[in-house]
Chains A and B, each alone.
Chain A
């Protein structure tokens, strides 16, 4: 049934097993926004035996490497990332939380130096499931998607 809703791609990356409603946040993590020239397909609320409902994202002609894939773990810890070449899956990555997150999240502390005009990207350290701003020490306590830059 899935194949009818979303076409296979020839080359690119398919992110599967995204929690229902998080597809657009996965695109934000990957830096895919309205300015992109990539062909992007998004399937939301797809029936899934394992997850009940899930989202799927396909980005054509773009290979997502394992480092980028790990950023997806912020939003979709059980996602799978499949790189497709000529309709065949040639690489498969499970995602795992990175040790460090650069430039993806905004610090919620309004007094943090990163929330100014300074020419730096944010850096968060991940340790024991705790995500902490390397500049000011603020720990993210609510949904990570709320802090996507």
Chain B
């Protein structure tokens, strides 16, 4: 079983992972198994939480290390790399800068492939831990929620995966971004096809009092032609205590991290801030994923 994107997971599949994550305990369930970590892009949370998750289940990991120190640097194709690694490990976690990389890898190997981010495409295990965090902090069912997703919606893979998953539950989504960073057409088409009610706005102020969850994401400097334009836009999408003044008491504020300036440090102490808890949830959720696919 591969985990490539949330679009191809059913609602039942997602709920099964969340339920398993809620009850999973350290064990020797994967004793003797090895998980390969192939990260062609930098990662802290995803790489370390997969590593921790595997070890808490009694298994071990083998890490490709940086691209610079691997045969990728010599021009090896991804198809060759994964076919080699398949001989060393019982499952592969893959992050790659190209969209569709995990799907390609899954075609070339028999061991399970877990997509840990493919370019601007998908990051399904991030979404699973996002949903786990929401479910843990909000009393209402996922389908009854109004979720605001804010920031770089065009290139942010966590956004695309989250939107597809929320669509399965029927949640209401409001996308908050500058016009230049709106969700891509293919994501919009999919949501429309799923019959999801969503709207797109330029600022969060008009909707924040109706939100159950505000999911902030990083606006990347390299997406802008000049630094002044970036600073202007980034400033408009920064969450501060003032932004949250009209929010409901039980609003859950999330962020996939790392943050730069999107959330002011003094928001961390508010009851809304759940992003560190969200990052910690990466371990039980990835334990559940590994336990189910390996």
A134 touches B104 (CB 8 A): no
Prevailing SS type, chain A contact patch: loop
A113 to B103, CA, bound (A): 9
- Give which listed residue, A120, A132, A134, contacts B79 with CB less than 8 A: A120
* A46 interfacial by beta-carbon distance below 8 Å: no
A136 touches B100 (CB 8 A): yes
Q: In this complex, what residue of A is CB-closest to B7?
A: A137
A113 touches B186 (CB 8 A): no
A119 to B83, CA, bound (A): 13
Which residues of the partner chain B approach A112 to less than 8 Å between Cβ atoms? Answer: 98-100
Q: In this complex, what residue of B is CB-closest to A135?
A: B100
How many residues on the B side are at the interface (Cβ–Cβ under 8 A)? 22
A112 to B78, CA, bound (A): 13
A138 to B286, CA, bound (A): 28
Most central of A112, A118, A120, A141 by chain B CB within 10 Å? A118
A117 to B79, CA, bound (A): 10
- Give which listed residue, A111, A120, A141, contacts B119 with CB less than 8 A: A111
* B142 interfacial by beta-carbon distance below 8 Å: no
A138 touches B186 (CB 8 A): yes
A111 to B187, CA, bound (A): 16
How near does chain A come to B78, taking the closest CB pair, in angstroms? Answer: 6
A137 touches B186 (CB 8 A): yes
Q: A136-B121, A137-B186, A138-B186 are in contact. Are A111 and B79 (CB under 8 A)?
A: no
Taken residue by residue from 104 to 126, chain A's Cβ proximity to chain B (1 for < 8 Å, 0 otherwise) reads as 00000101111011111000000
Q: A119-B79, A136-B119 are in contact. Are A113 and B189 (CB under 8 A)?
A: no
- Give which listed residue, A119, A128, A137, A139, contacts B99 with CB less than 8 A: A137
- Give which listed residue, A117, A133, A141, contacts B100 with CB less than 8 A: A133
A139 touches B189 (CB 8 A): yes
* A130 interfacial by beta-carbon distance below 8 Å: yes
Q: In this complex, what residue of B is CB-closest to A128?
A: B193
How near does chain A come to B148, taking the closest CB pair, in angstroms? Answer: 23
A136 to B5, CA, bound (A): 11
How near does chain B come to A82, taking the closest CB pair, in angstroms? Answer: 37
Q: In this complex, what residue of A is CB-closest to B185?
A: A139
A111 touches B185 (CB 8 A): no
A141 to B75, CA, bound (A): 33
A119 to B120, CA, bound (A): 22
Which residues of the partner chain A approach B101 to less than 8 Å between Cβ atoms? Answer: 113
B79 touches A136 (CB 8 A): no
* B235 interfacial by beta-carbon distance below 8 Å: no
Which residues of the partner chain A approach B104 to less than 8 Å between Cβ atoms? Answer: 113-114, 118, 120, 135
Which residues of the partner chain A approach B97 to less than 8 Å between Cβ atoms? Answer: 111
A59 to B75, CA, bound (A): 41
B120 touches A111 (CB 8 A): yes
Q: A109-B99, A116-B98, A133-B100 are in contact. Are A141 and B185 (CB under 8 A)?
A: yes
Which residues of the partner chain A approach B75 to less than 8 Å between Cβ atoms? Answer: 117
A113 touches B185 (CB 8 A): no
How near does chain B come to A7, taking the closest CB pair, in angstroms? Answer: 46
Q: Which of A39-87 contact B (CB under 8 A)?
A: none
A120 touches B107 (CB 8 A): yes
How near does chain A come to B189, taking the closest CB pair, in angstroms? Answer: 6
B186 touches A134 (CB 8 A): no
Residues on A close to B: CB < 8 A?
109, 111-114, 116-120, 128, 130, 132-139, 141
- Report 9 cross-chain contacts, Cβ distance below 8 Å, ordered by A residue: A111-B119, A117-B77, A120-B79, A134-B103, A135-B100, A136-B99, A136-B100, A136-B121, A141-B185
Known: A135-B103, A139-B185. 19 other contacts (CB 8 A): A111-B98, A111-B99, A112-B98, A112-B99, A113-B103, A116-B78, A118-B77, A118-B78, A118-B79, A120-B104, A120-B107, A128-B193, A133-B100, A134-B100, A135-B104, A137-B99, A137-B187, A138-B99, A139-B186
